[in-house]
Amino acid sequence: MVIGVLALQGSFNEHIAALRRIGVKGSEIRKPEQLECLNALIIPGGESTTMAKLAEYHNLFPALREFVRAGKPVWGTCAGLIFLANKAVGQKSGGQELIGGLDCVVHRNFFGSQLQSFEIELSVPKLADNEGGTDICRGVFIRAPGILEAGPDVEVLADCPVPSDNAGPVIPGGEDLEDKILFQDRVIVAVRQGNLLGTAFHPELTSDTRWHSFFLKMVKETDEKTLQCISTSERPMENFHEKKPYDLPIFE
């Protein structure tokens, strides 16, 4: 099994190290053709605008979108979560290109500037159910996004209290989501939708590898479903020979 880590910028080395600790090979991905041999992909945290420009320069967006559409597991952390969202708000002038696929609205810089980065204990019962241990994990938020809205098919895995000194970011242009941001006291920070996993924080910067194990199980589930589809669609050769040949029309 080979898990790719998008290595344009950001904490890709930390993800590869975390995968190594659970016995999985992580491969640095920088070109579209490198996606072809992967079982799954991690899009790390970093500076989302810079990552988007580099991805566009290397013509990665079409291949990344096709990777998601093919149903292969993809995990986005922090900036990676922004990339996977169907919609991102609070962006810089001109916005940035997204991969999409995750039915949610993400605020690019929900928790404020780099100086407002923080760590907090998050309650994630699903993580404990799947991987054992306590249902508390350490969340490292570095100039982090927040998930403002999640669609009906999106499973919310964790939310986080909005810091008391954060009145809520204001969306430029007076978008209709502004009131929802200003008056909410908790914000979603981890979700799963089918083959997609998104976390607003950085599990790769902690010693807890359960998020990487959780993602690995998603990969195995996807591989098993693929094998089941292949096995049910195949016909035994003896049945094939028993069938009568088709009567094809003859055109003169």
**Residues involved in catalysis:** 78, 202, 204
Dist CA 106 CA 109 (whole Å): 9
Closest C-alpha to 213, from 8, 7, 40: 40
Dist CA 200 CA 157 (whole Å): 11
190 and 157 Cβ atoms separated by less than 8 Å? yes
Closest C-alpha to 38, from 83, 82, 81, 7: 7
Enter the tokens of residue 10: 């950001």
Which run of H or E residues covers position 107?
strand 102-107
Closest C-alpha to 148, from 137, 156, 140: 156
Q: With the CA atoms of 62, 68, 72 and 73 taken in that order, what torsion angle do they form, in degrees rounded to the nearest 10?
A: 120
